[in-house]
Amino acid sequence: MVPAGSDETIPVVNPANGEIVATVPAGTAEDVDRAVAAARTAFAGWAATPPAERAAVVRRIGAGLGARGEEIAVAITAEMGSPIGMSRTAQVNFPVAVAESFAALAADFAWTEEVGNSLLVREPVGVVGAITPWNFPLQQIVSKLAPALVAGNTMVFKPSEAAPLTARILAEVTAEAGLPAGVFNVVYGTGPVVGEAISAHRDIDMISFTGSTRAGRRIGAVAAETVKRVTLELGGKGANVILDGADLGTAVRAGVTMAFANGGQVCGAWPRMLVPASRHDEIVALAIAAAREYTVGEPTDEATRIGPMASEAHREKVDGYIQRGIADGATLVFGGPGRPDGLEKGAYVRPTIFTNVDPYSAIAQEEIFGPVLTVIPYADEDEAVEIANSTTYGLTSGVFGEPEQATAVARRLRVGQVDVNGGHWNPFAPFGGYKQSGNGREFGRAGLEEFLETKSIQC
Q: How far is CA 156 from CA 2, 173, 253, 280, in A?
A: 10, 16, 40, 49
Residue 233 designated active-site = yes
Q: Which residue among the candidates 79, 267, 298, 442 is catalytic per the annotation?
A: 267
Pairing of strands 396-400, 331-334: unpaired
What are the strands of the beta sheet with 239-242, ordered from one edge? 331-334, 352-355, 372-378, 272-276, 239-242, 396-400, 417-420
Residue 267 designated active-site = yes
Pairing of strands 438-439, 229-233: antiparallel
Is residue 97 a contact partner of residue 138, using CB atoms and an 8 Å limit? no
Is residue 162 a contact partner of residue 80, using CB atoms and an 8 Å limit? yes
Q: Which residue among the candidates 100, 196, 233, 298 is catalytic per the annotation?
A: 233
**8-state DSSP, 135:** S
Q: How far is CA 32 from CA 70, 151, 201, in A?
A: 31, 22, 9
Q: Considering only CA atoms, which of 390, 391, 66 is closest in space to residue 236? A: 391
Is residue 159 a contact partner of residue 129, using CB atoms and an 8 Å limit? no
Helix (H) / strand (E) element for 286: namely: helix 280-291
**8-state DSSP, 96:** H
Pairing of strands 331-334, 352-355: antiparallel
CB atoms within 10 A of CB 268: 20
Residues marked as catalytic = 233, 267
